[in-house]
Amino acid sequence: MARPLRIQYPGACYHVTSRGNERKAVFSDARDRDDLLQRLSGLAEAGALRVYAWALLPNHFHRARTAARRRAKC
């Protein structure tokens, strides 16, 4: 069963998680982790989102961020 749509409004803060399939690692090495951080940084600099906190673990990661105010290409 699909989960209900998330209510979104400008400035709202969301806890977003991403998990690997079958709880497998989502990063193959430190370079992968750095790539994710660079992408988040690029989106933040473009004004697409604000990231308040993150946690990168071997098989998943968390972000606390606000809803996008405008779309950015990344």
Question: Which pLDDT tens digit goes with each residue over 10-29?
Answer: 778 888 899 989 989 999 99
Place of tokens 């803060």: 13
Which amino acid belongs to residue 29? Answer: D
The number of beta carbons lying within 10 Å of the beta carbon of residue 49 is 19
Q: Are 19 and 52 in contact (CB under 8 A)?
A: no
State the pLDDT at residue 59.
Answer: 93
Buried b (16+ CB within 10 A) or exposed e, 2-28: eeeeeeeeeeeeeeeeeeeeeeeebbe
| pLDDT for 35 beyond 60 | yes
Question: Which pLDDT tens digit goes with each residue over 40-54?
Answer: 899 888 888 888 999
Per-residue tokens: 55? 């946690």
pTM over 0.75: no
| pLDDT for 6 beyond 90 | no
The number of beta carbons lying within 10 Å of the beta carbon of residue 55 is 10
